[in-house]
């Protein structure tokens, strides 16, 4: 049969974000895959060396814009680790609540994009509608819909508004019912299941070796969640299960993320009841000593996010390194794709949940 290289991207309805997937196909079967990234590379880590520490927080938001709160929180955690700064308890609980709300928002956007890939515009419309509920909550809290600039080094920017608990409780009650509806729309759809089951298989050994983390790893049966294994913020005070599936295919990864949304609702309900009174912010020192390093890793909605910072003696960092979970997931694309058909590519790459802003930095 004829073999040829096919370019899927950079402008392609399937690609979430700007990258190029070159696949070598033999008829309809994929025999080789080569992802090409770099279309969004802005030299983020180099730009960070020209900015003061607080100025990098809005830049960190725009690393992965689908889950921007998670990245600005990761940056603040990294600098707090370097400065050995202890964040007040109230700030920890507020951060936990907004992080989980961001996780739900990010997973909803992922599901909307997956629906569009598979051709189901209904899933897109339902998920974007539910996401608007959470964006309204965030707007009440910090004024922005997408890139929040809310966490600060030493706490959060402002205290919660007056009806915080009431609004969150109302939204969660409505959301859980609607999420059950969206879940039924996907789970009970024969077309969805046919397209997602038994495609994109990645065994646990392969996933661990290739550095894949997050829901992609848990969809292959490995029960590892940084919120449980290495708790940060208020995660050690709340009760939740680690969601994992043994299927190893795209459907398993989808199930992991939907279950995570339910677990996030559980976490938010518990944390809201337990928020202690107190300050929401401490004042950090303006400069960091030269050569002092710190790092932090968190369970980003897409996997293990990690940042490493080295101080410069003044108020700019000397080196700020970002480890993006999607960078590694995309590099593992050949392992996911080889052997399947071209028409499976949107389902497989959609189930990996990519956000190219953090990949290219």
- Return residues touching another protein (CB under 8 A): 10-13, 16-18, 37-43, 45-47, 50, 58-59, 62, 65-66, 109, 112-113, 124-125, 128-129, 131-132, 135, 145-147, 208-213, 222, 224, 228-231, 236, 239, 295, 297, 304, 306, 308, 310, 318-319, 321, 323, 327-328, 331-332, 357, 360-361
Smallest distance from the beta carbon of 47 to another protein, in angstroms? 6
Smallest distance from the beta carbon of 360 to another protein, in angstroms? 6
CB count within 10 Å of CB 187 equals 13
**Nearer to another protein among residue 157 and residue 208 (C-beta):** 208
For 286-309, b/e burial (b = at least 16 CB within 10 A) is eebeeeeebebbbbbbbbbbbbbb
CB count within 10 Å of CB 37 equals 21
Smallest distance from the beta carbon of 107 to another protein, in angstroms? 14
**Nearer to another protein among residue 128 and residue 342 (C-beta):** 128
**Nearer to another protein among residue 273 and residue 283 (C-beta):** 273
Question: Residue 246: phi, psi to the nearest 5?
Answer: -95, 5
Smallest distance from the beta carbon of 71 to another protein, in angstroms? 12
Smallest distance from the beta carbon of 146 to another protein, in angstroms? 5
Smallest distance from the beta carbon of 127 to another protein, in angstroms? 9
Distance, in Å, from the CA atom of 354 to the CA atom of 66, rounded to the nearest integer, reads 9
**Nearer to another protein among residue 72 and residue 280 (C-beta):** 72
Distance, in Å, from the CA atom of 95 to the CA atom of 84, rounded to the nearest integer, reads 18
Q: Please, which residues have CB within 8 angstroms of residue 324's CB and are 6 or more apart in sequence? A: 63, 64, 305, 358, 359, 361
User: For tokens 């969004």, what's the residue?
Assistant: 40
**Nearer to another protein among residue 142 and residue 281 (C-beta):** 142
**Nearer to another protein among residue 258 and residue 320 (C-beta):** 320
Handedness of CA 9, 12, 16, 22 (dihedral sign): negative
């Amino acid at each position: 049969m004829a073999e040829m290289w096919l370019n899927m991207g950079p402008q392609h309805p399937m690609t979430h974000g700007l990258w190029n997937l070159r696949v070598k196909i033999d008829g309809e079967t994929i025999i080789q895959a080569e992802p090409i990234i770099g279309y969004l590379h802005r030299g983020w880590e180099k730009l960070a060396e020209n900015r003061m520490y607080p100025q990098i927080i809005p830049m960190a938001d725009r690393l992965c814009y689908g889950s921007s709160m998670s990245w600005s929180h990761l940056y603040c955690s990294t600098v707090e680790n370097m400065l050995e700064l202890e964040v007040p308890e109230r700030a920890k609980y507020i951060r936990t609540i907004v992080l989980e709300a961001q996780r739900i928002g990010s997973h909803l956007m992922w599901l909307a994009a997956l629906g569009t890939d598979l051709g189901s515009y209904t899933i897109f419309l339902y998920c974007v509608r539910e996401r608007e509920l959470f964006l309204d909550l965030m707007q009440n809290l910090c004024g922005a819909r997408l890139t929040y600039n809310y966490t600060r080094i030493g706490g959060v920017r402002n205290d919660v508004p007056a009806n915080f608990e009431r609004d969150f409780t109302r939204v969660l009650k409505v959301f859980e019912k609607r999420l059950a509806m969206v879940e039924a729309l996907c789970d009970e759809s024969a077309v969805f299941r046919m397209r997602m089951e038994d495609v994109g298989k990645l065994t646990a050994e392969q996933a661990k070796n290739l550095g894949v983390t997050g829901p992609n790893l848990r969809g292959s049966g490995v029960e590892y969640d940084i919120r449980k294994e290495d708790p940060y913020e208020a995660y050690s005070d709340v009760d939740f299960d680690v969601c994992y599936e043994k299927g190893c295919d795209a459907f398993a990864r989808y199930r992991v993320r939907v279950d995570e949304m339910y677990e996030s609702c559980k976490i938010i309900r518990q944390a809201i009841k337990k928020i202690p009174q107190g300050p929401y912010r401490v004042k950090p020192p303006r400069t960091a000593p030269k050569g002092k390093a710190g790092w932090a890793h968190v369970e980003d909605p897409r996997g293990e996010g990690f940042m490493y910072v080295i101080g410069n003696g003044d108020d700019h960092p000397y080196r700020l390194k970002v480890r993006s979970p999607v960078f590694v997931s995309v590099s593992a694309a050949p392992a996911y794709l080889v052997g399947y058909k071209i028409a499976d590519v949107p389902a497989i790459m959609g189930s990996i949940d990519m956000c190219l802003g953090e990949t290219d930095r």
